[in-house]
Amino acid sequence: MAKREDEGGTTINYHRQLARHMGGLDENNAKDMGELIRTADKLRDDYKCAIMLVHHTGHAHQDRARGSTAFKGALDTEIIVNQLGDHDLTTKCEKQKDGTPFETRQFIKISIEPSIILQQVEVSGKADTKVNPNEKLALETLKECLVRENLFAQAHLEDWRQIFYERHTGDKPKSKEAAFRRARERLVNKGLIVCKNDNYSLNDRAT
């Protein structure tokens, strides 16, 4: 990714997949990869910016970048991003030329329509499916709502809300509302429930 400021002071970011910049060159050929590296260096020097190249791992070697090893040799920092379940990912430092490699980090993807943000969580090496007491209550009341309303797939938000409020021990309406909203959002983000048009259903991971 290249980052600079235009004349008006606006920050501009660029990142492109490596293969799209090869221009028909062979990523497995050290000479061809060298051409790409020289181009990236020129952009860095001309614009006084950082360059991030997004690349894929190989099919047979999921722990390193695809193609010529000349690519790794030219990098100052190499970070591998791995998918972990449906909603988690990890970032691992494979190379840090002039410093100590950072520790592996784990993130959960949080939906912020129409995009997502990453929230760092404790590194567990597995997808975050643990639930706190309010989230557990929300799951239980969603299942109860599906049974009570004789529904096989989905429950409407308001029907579920009523049962959650009945079971929640909070003594103020606002505390019940906040607990329900937070639990609902986190269960969606963890992939335990699915929402469509205010109708909620259990994902396979929650059954």
Q: What is the pLDDT of residues 22-47, one digit of tens each?
A: 777 888 888 988 888 898 899 999 99
Q: What percent of the chain has pLDDT over 70?
A: 82
**139 and 168 housed in the same domain:** yes
> 114 lies in which domain range?
76-127
**70 and 96 housed in the same domain:** no
**85 and 96 housed in the same domain:** yes
**81 and 34 housed in the same domain:** no
In this model, does residue 75 exceed pLDDT 50? yes
CATH of the domain at 163: 1.10.10.10
pTM: 0.54
**42 and 59 housed in the same domain:** yes
Q: What is the pLDDT of residues 143-168, one digit of tens each?
A: 888 887 665 678 999 999 999 999 99
**122 and 154 housed in the same domain:** no
Q: What is the mean pLDDT of residues 118-139?
A: 81
**163 and 199 housed in the same domain:** yes
**95 and 156 housed in the same domain:** no
Q: What is the mean pLDDT of residues 182-186?
A: 90
How many domains does one find in the chain? 3
Q: Which of 88, 108, 127 is the last residue of a domain?
A: 127
- Confidence band, pLDDT 50/70/90 cuts, at residue 202: confident
**119 and 151 housed in the same domain:** no
Convert the chain into a string of H (helix), E (strand) and C (coil): CEEEECCCCCEEEECEEHHHHCCCCCCCCHHHHHHHHHHHHHHHHHHCCCCCEECCECCCCCCCECCCCHHHHHCCEEEEEEEECCCEEEEEEEEECCCCCCCCEEEEEEEECCEEEEEEECCCCCCCCCCCHHHHHHHHHHHHHHHHCCCCCCEEHHHHHHHHHHHCCCCCHHHHHHHHHHHHHHHHHCCCEEEECCEEEECHHHC
